[in-house]
Structures are given as C-alpha cells and as structure tokens.
Chains A and B, each alone.
Chain A
Amino acid sequence: MIQRLLAGERVLRKKEKTSRRRMSRQTRENIFGYLFISPWIIGFLGLTLGPLLFSLFASFTDYNITSRMNFIGLDNFKRMFTIDDLFKTSLWNTLYYVLFSVPLTTAGAIFLSVLLNQKVRGMKFFRTLYYLPAILSGVAVYFLWMQLLSPSTGLVNTFLAWIGIEGPAWLFDPEWTKPALLLMKMWSVGGGMLLYLASLQGVSASLYEAADLDGAGVMQKFFYITLPMISPIIFFDVLTSTIGAFQIFQEAYVMTENGSGGPGNSLLFYNLHMWNNAFEVFDMGYASAMAWLLFIVVMVLTIINMKLGKKWVHYEGEIINENCRSTEVL
C-alpha cells in the first residue's frame, strides 16, 4: 500500500518535472534575458531614471547639498526668466551655437562625403586623413586651437593675412568667440562625413545612369537623387548633432579663464552656467531646474524634428527593407 503510494507519488513528481520543463522554455528564456540585461537595468534605474526623477523633484526645491530640500514651487523657474540675467545670455549663446553649428557641420559633412565618394587615386588615404581630426578631442585639442587662433601669431590669422584679410582677435573679441568655436568644430567634420559615405555607397548606380540618359546635370543629380536617397542619414545626423550641440560645455570651460565664459560672457553656454550653479555655488535645486528646462527644450525639438522628418525623409523600398532587417523594431 505504502509502496504503491510512493510509486504513484514518484510518477506524479516525474510528470510535474517534465511539464515544468516544457512550460519553462519560455520562462527560462525570460530568466536568461533579464539576467543578461540586468546590468543595463541597474544602470538605467540608478544612473538615468532615478536621477531624472530626483532632478525633477529637486527642481522645485532650494536644495544645496547641505540644506534640507525645501519645496519652493516654481521659484527656480521664475528666477531664470526674471532675476538671472546670465540665464538669458547662456540660453542665447547656446541657441546661436546650435543654430549655426548644426547646418554648417551637416552641409560640410555631406559635401566632403560626396567628394570622397568619387573614384580618384589615393581615396583611401584621403578618407583616413579627413577622418583623423574627428578622433582627436579633449583638452589638448582645445589648447591647440587657442594657439591656432592667437590673434597676431596664430596660424589662422597668418593664413588670412596671406589672402589680404586682417583676422579678428577671435577668443578675445566677444563678437568672434562663437565663430571661433564653429571653426574649430568644422575641423572635425570627418565623423559625420563617414556616416554619409557609408550611406552614399548604398545608393544604386542605376539611378544615376537613368538620370544621365535623361540628360540630368551634376546639380540635378545631387538634389533629386543623392539628397533624397541619403535623407534618412541626414535626419539621423541632424537629430543627434542638435542634441550634441545643446550640450556644448568643455570647449568653453577649457578655453575661457577658469570656465568664466569668456569676454563679455560670450561663451557662457547653458551647460557652463548650469555647471557653475551646481558645482561652484552648489545651488543644486536651481541647477536641476535648468537641467529640466533643457531636457524639455531638447525633447520638444526632437519631436518637432521627427514630425518634420516625416515630410522630407525619403524611404526608398530598398532602404526600408534594409533598415527593417537591421534594426527590426525601429
């Protein structure tokens, strides 16, 4: 009797085991999946979402690290627009930089990629060479440009003098500090160039042959074939470089005296002002409010970009398939 019961139990257990194994295939995939992405989940919660929510909360307080967080409502935001004059300056400087750097670098990168997509001797060498500045960054490069832009003995003004132009004082003249940074930015346009080059190589030659038969000129081919065909990458590049340009900080921090923002605050960018508020005077509440305003501005611009993108980004069947294959969920 007992033996029978035990045997029955054994059978039951066995059944349970097999059915659990069968059921568990998906469960196991889930466990492995979440286990594998757990570092990212920890990072996302701890370093992105948590901080995001914390700074949202802090933006309504007068937190300064040592104090308690006193809720002060919208005072931080009021302060930006009414009391803090440097806020407006920093916002204007940043918008100026975004407005010029994004179109200039995009156009520069496209122009360069079209040139580097031709069949010319030594092209591999040229591509490497033009890409080189894009990998150089950091303090050393900023020092180099401070030297290049030196008003009397710098290389830039020496070049200009050759063609009969008296160069400005660049980093010492409030009107020329931002163009100076734009010039520096243009030097490393090679990073974007590479994106476009990859995309250009995917444009089918038959399109150009057909256009040749129709007697299209160089410009027509560029505007009616090349640009539409690479528009998804232009879109991607504009989106990411806009977000990047809003974050300009290091250049101004290193190239101005103690991160002061340069002559006449002309290089006091939004992030530099925020940095000074957060880590010089430890006004964390106010800095958080500034950070959130920036976040909202960038998000709104991204959404506008995406809406507008639908109008001008051209997805050829071929490209859609390609993208679907490689990015699936996108």
Chain B
Amino acid sequence: MRTAAAPKFYETKKFKDNLKQTIIFIVLLAGSVLVLSPLWWMISTSLKSPAEIAQYPPTFVPKEFHFSNYVEAWKTAPFTRWAMNTLFIALCGMAGSVLVNSLVAYAFAKIRFKGRNALFIVVLSTMLIPGFVTMVPQYILFSKLGWVNTYLPLIVPAFLGSAFFIFLLRQFMMSIPNELIEAAVLDGANHLQIWWHIMLPLTKPALITVAIFSFNGAWNDLLGPLLYINDESLYTLQIGLQTFKGTVQTQWHYLMAMSVMVLLPVVLLFFFFQKHFIEGSNIASGTKG
C-alpha cells in the first residue's frame, strides 16, 4: 500500500499504536512487581530463620527454606480451634446475608407496596452513617441481652439485612423482566413462591457475589470479635492473630507464616470466584445492571 508519499514507518499509526502499547505494557509490568512484592516478602519472611530476618542487608530469597515455621507457628496457639470458629461464623453470616438480603431486595425491586421508594431512600442513607456512631449503643444492647461472649452479636445482624447488599441485589433484580413475575402471578403463585422458585435461581451470580463478600467480611472482621468475645476458646482467627502479636512480638517468621495461612483462604476464594468479585464491584457501582 506504500506510495511515494507514504510516511516513514515510525510515523505510521500502526507503529505509534504499537509503541504506546509496549510502553503501557512495561509500565504495568513494573507496577505488578510493586503490587506483588509485599506478598513475596511475606512468603519469603515466613520461610526464613529469625537470624536471617534480622540480617542486613535483607535477602530476597531465603537461604534455607524453613517450612517447619508453618507447623511450629500453628502449634503456638489453638489456631485450629480459632479457624473452625471463624469458619462457623462466616458460614452462618453468609447464609443469613444471602437469604435475607435477597428477600428484602426482592420486595424493593418487584413488590409495589406503599412507601416503597421512601423506605428505599432510608436504606441507602443508612450507608452514610459511620458505623462507630451506633457501636456503643449496640454493645450495650447486646450486653443487656446477655449476648456478650457468644457468637450471636456476630451472626444475628447478618440476618437483619445490610444496606449495601440490598442495594446490590436490587440493582440486579431490576434487570429481570416483570413479565416473568406477572406470568407467575397468573399461574397463582404468591410472592414467596416467586422469590424462591424464580428470583433465587435467576439472581445466582449476584447471590454468589454477596456470599463471597460476606464471607470475606466475616473472615477479616476484627472489631466485632474484639468487642464481644472474651474467652480464648471462642476467639476468631483475626483476634487470635492480634493477641498472638503481643506474645510473640519479635518472632516475625511465625507471624508471617500465620499471616500467610490466614490470608490463603481469601486468596484462593478470590482466584476461584475472580469473575464474581469483579462483576460484584461493577454491579455495586450502579453503572451496570
């Protein structure tokens, strides 16, 4: 296609595009190193000996791999128990979040009841209230109910709906055609049946998003257990890890090994459900759905 007046090769659009792409690729690659290096450092430290950690200048790859750090760290405290406790709370909370928020979202999306829009604005505005404002009275409430040192304060709120999840699920449900519901009504179904037989299966991607987010939230929650749990046998991983720091202050190899193990389920969940994580955030932005 070259003619006599053709531009020199480095002036062509194709070359410029390629150059731009290469530069961006290199920038992104360099950024990846920055993003990943903390994680690399965590794993590398978790495999070092205490002497090597204190050494200057620091090493990037451990001279000797002390895999036993992981076993020893896990044995320093009842971590198995704490992991089970955390799993139990997270799974209960997940079940509550998925069922209740979907029920509430269905009402806001598809049932035309009086005052619906006004109430939905109330739902949204609760997202603006800093959690700390309600924390003290909630603590007093739960302690008067005798719930301190039980898992109830950590699980029950999940069964009472969360503004963010209601919003996310409602956004998703709005995109499901009303005709489907009208047809079911003609067939004599009530809303409970429609929700269970039609809505739940159709909103599965959004429900998975809610499930993952709520699991992650419960797994990483420090504040709740810190407030309500006193007995060591009832500790969650986060609070266990937090107190672990005080007792084993300088033993960074153990601390990092524990950190890797606590983060591992979250990372695995992320890679397994990566698509849903990313879609979930997109739905939440309100630009899609």
Residues of A within 8 A of B (CB): 26, 29-30, 32-34, 36-37, 39-40, 42-44, 46-48, 50-52, 54-55, 58, 65, 112, 115-116, 118-122, 126-133, 135-141, 143-145, 147-148, 152-155, 158, 161, 187, 190-191, 194-195, 198-199, 202, 233, 236, 240, 243, 246-247, 249-250, 253-254, 258, 271, 274-275, 278-279, 284, 287-288, 291-292, 294-295, 298-299, 302, 322-323, 325-330
Contact = CB atoms under 8 A, between A and B. Distances in A.
Contacts of A141: 259, 263
22 contacts: A47-B141, A52-B129, A52-B133, A55-B137, A58-B136, A112-B31, A121-B21, A131-B278, A136-B267, A140-B241, A153-B57, A158-B58, A194-B282, A198-B282, A249-B132, A249-B223, A284-B136, A294-B132, A295-B133, A299-B128, A322-B287, A326-B286
Contacts of B263: 136, 138, 140-141
Contact of A326 (B37, B171, B258, B259): B171
B113 interface: yes
A307 to B, nearest CB: 15
Contacts of A326: 171, 174-175, 286-289
A148 B41 contact: yes
The 7 closest A-B pairs by CB, nearest first: A33-B113, A43-B160, A51-B137, A36-B107, A140-B259, A138-B220, A40-B161
B87 interface: no
Given A246-B130, A326-B286, A128 B281 contact: no
- Interface majority SS (helix, strand, loop, mixed), chain B: helix
A65 B134 CA distance: 16
A258 to B, nearest CB: 8
B21 A118 contact: yes
Given A32-B113, A36-B103, A36-B104, A137 B220 contact: yes
Interface string B240-261: 0110011000001001101110
Nearest to A195: B285
A43 B175 CA distance: 27
Given A145-B38, A254-B242, A195 B281 contact: yes
Nearest to B190: A32
A161 to B, nearest CB: 8
Interface of B: 20-21, 24-25, 27-28, 31-32, 35-38, 41-42, 45, 53-58, 100, 103-104, 106-108, 111-114, 116-117, 119-124, 126-141, 157, 159-161, 166, 171, 174-175, 190-192, 195, 216, 219-223, 227, 238, 241-242, 245-246, 252, 255-256, 258-260, 262-263, 266-267, 270, 274, 277-278, 281-282, 284-289
Contacts of A236: 285-286
Contacts of B20: 118
A188 to B, nearest CB: 9
B78 to A, nearest CB: 16
A287 B252 contact: no
B107 A37 contact: yes
A37 B108 contact: yes
B120 A329 contact: yes
Contacts of A240: 127
Contact of B35 (A130, A250, A323): A130
Contacts of A139: 222, 238, 241-242, 245, 259, 262
B103 A284 contact: no
A65 to B, nearest CB: 7
Nearest to A197: B282
B35 A132 contact: yes
A148 B171 CA distance: 40
Contacts of A275: 132
A284 B141 CA distance: 13
Contacts of B219: 138
Contacts of A153: 53-58
Given A36-B191, A139-B262, A247 B131 contact: yes
Nearest to A270: B132
A200 to B, nearest CB: 10
Contacts of B282: 194-195, 198
B216 A32 contact: no
Contact of A40 (B123, B259, B267): B123
Contacts of A195: 281-282, 284-285
B3 to A, nearest CB: 23
A33 B107 contact: yes
Contacts of B55: 153
Given A198-B287, A236-B285, A328 B174 contact: yes
Nearest to A247: B130
Nearest to B100: A39
Given A37-B119, A199-B287, A236-B285, A47 B160 contact: yes
A145 to B, nearest CB: 7
A43 B97 CA distance: 13
A52 to B, nearest CB: 6
Contact of A47 (B157, B227, B259): B157
B219 to A, nearest CB: 8
Contacts of B277: 131, 135
Given A138-B238, A153-B55, 6 more contacts: A33-B107, A36-B104, A36-B191, A118-B20, A129-B32, A254-B222
Given A147-B252, A236-B286, A152 B56 contact: yes
A115 B285 CA distance: 19
B130 to A, nearest CB: 5
A147 B134 contact: no
Contacts of A194: 278, 281-282, 285
